[in-house]
Chain A
Amino acid sequence: QQQVKQSPQSLIVQKGGISIINCAYENTAFDYFPWYQQFPGKGPALLIAIRPDVSEKKEGRFTISFNKSAKQFSLHIMDSQPGDSATYFCAAEDRGSTLGRLYFGRGTQLTVWP
């Protein structure tokens, strides 16, 4: 079954707006949560990642919010730009028993209109 559930499947945002993508998981052993950005014809590239000992991490216009009790985490893209148009994947890793194996969500296709 899908270990990491991601929504929405697609998202359209106006330039300058905020893009929000949500993910949920069930396995409480997950202890590393990265977000990847993928452009057509390319492999996923790491955008930002968080560990469960913090509730928020910010890098430039990208912020991860993490809610351990709800087993949810989300990506916020502030001041969204047309160049942000891509597919975004959340993922999770259980570094204890399956170190190096990432479980990916199904992806969110983001379109930012100029």
Chain B
Amino acid sequence: DAGVTQSPTHLIKTRGQQVTLRCSPKSGHDTVSWYQQALGQGPQFIFQYYEEEERQRGNFPDRFSGHQFPNYSSELNVNALLLGDSALYLCASSPRQGAGYGYTFGSGTRLTVV
């Protein structure tokens, strides 16, 4: 049974560009959350999607947007990239909205903005 799959694994973008990261949740999971993990820091919550709607949002600017598809997969879009957006972006899926129901993280996408 595949876990959470994220693509691509690594990405290098230029400041000002736009990027799309993708996440396929674990089988049986319908809720997807995105986190940003800067080097040497804990993950920071970006937003959560359930039933194709953004249910919660962390303290991130509107440059960060997302989408969830009918098959529960999700995309994270970041516009007008800044150097400070360089981080590991983690996707977590769960069978219900609460973290206690079996939050499973993917291995992440390492984004480098130059």
Contact = CB atoms under 8 A, between A and B. Distances in A.
Contacts of A49: 100
A101 B56 contact: yes
Interface residues of A, number: 27
Contacts of B78: none
Interface in A74-114: 89, 91, 93, 95, 98-107
Interface in A3-47: 4, 6, 32, 34, 36, 41-46
Contact of A32 (B44, B56, B98, B106): B98
B41 interface: yes
Interface size for chain B: under 10, 10 to 19, 20 to 34, or 35 or more residues? 20 to 34
A93 B98 contact: yes
B99 interface: yes
B33 interface: yes
Contacts of A43: 4, 90, 92, 105-108
A74 to B, nearest CB: 16
Contacts of B8: none
Contact of A104 (B44, B48, B56): B44
Name the residue among B33, B42, B98, B103 with the largest chain A CB count within 10 angstroms. B42
15 contacts: A43-B90, A43-B106, A44-B43, A45-B105, A89-B43, A91-B99, A95-B100, A99-B97, A100-B48, A100-B50, A100-B98, A101-B99, A105-B42, A106-B42, A107-B41
